[in-house]
Amino acid sequence: MQSHHIVRAYDDELKYLTRKIAAMGGHAERLVDQSVAALVNSDTSLARKVIEDDAILDQAQREIDDKSILIIARRQPVAADLREIIGAIRIAADLERVGDLAKNVAKRVVAVAEGRQPVSLFRGLEALAELALTQLKEVLDVYASRSVERIEFVRARDNQIDAMYTSLFRELLTYMMEDPRNITPCTHLLFCAKNIERIGDHATNIAETIFYVVTGDQMPADRPKEDKSHHVTLPVEHK
């Protein structure tokens, strides 16, 4: 009976971690969604809410870290259980960063709102955010279901996100060259786009961690990189 109780308590501890990660994932999705909505609608009060709510993710990460270390010390797990706990620490770190990136988008709402951007720019940014959010959602679904056979989609979509980001980068540079009044707001939009692209990277990191947790193997290191924005240069037309 005694050992049965211990196993049960241990199992509950592991489930606590999984639930806490799922809750963090839900918060992270909401912050990303709201930060982009705040940007597109110049909604400074929603932006403020995102900036405040990021603290929820910081706090959750600390709790997961503390709890994980406590479980390792108390239960001395090996193999799959140990990977589960190390995985929780890693995924919590990625989700905490996703929150930071959403906060960073929210912080730029005021600077962007001071200019008047073409609607197409916001459409591009919304499409990018939608792709990144779908990525994050699916990765969290894979975490919940442990169906790692679905994980390959993640890298394919990460490449799509990078390609879309590069095209948005080019478009933003074009607007900046057309009119110097666009420079400040478009620079902030460039950073917003980069932040959203990074959210996709963190979703990919999480996918790799899940693969490791479930299989005990690392996914191969080199993946094709489609973010070509660092090569983008535009010719200047003199009027």
Residue 230 makes contact with its own copies by CB under 8 A: yes
Least separation in angstroms between residue 26's CB and its own copies is: 21
Residue 194 makes contact with its own copies by CB under 8 A: yes
Return the closest-CA partner of residue 161 out of 226, 215, 237, 236. Answer: 226
Encoded one letter per residue, x for contact with its own copies by CB under 8 A and - for no contact, window 105-144 reads --xx-xx--x------------------------------
Residue 220 makes contact with its own copies by CB under 8 A: no
Return the closest-CA partner of residue 24 out of 107, 151, 140. Answer: 140
Please spell the DSSP secondary structure of 75-98, one letter per residue: H---HHHHHHHHHHHHHHHHHHHH
Radius of gyration of the chain (CA): 20
Return the closest-CA partner of residue 29 out of 151, 141, 156, 145. Answer: 141
Residue 89 makes contact with its own copies by CB under 8 A: yes
| Rounded distance between C-alpha atoms, residue 27 and residue 25, angstroms | 5
Burial of 182 (0-12, 13-18, 19+ CB in 10 A): buried
Encoded one letter per residue, x for contact with its own copies by CB under 8 A and - for no contact, window 37-76 reads ------------------x--xx--x------x--xx--x
Which residues of the shown chain bind its own copies in the complex (CB under 8 A)? 55, 58-59, 62, 69, 72-73, 76-79, 82-83, 86, 89-90, 93, 104, 107-108, 110-111, 114, 173, 176-177, 180-181, 183-185, 187-188, 190-191, 194, 218, 221, 230-234, 236
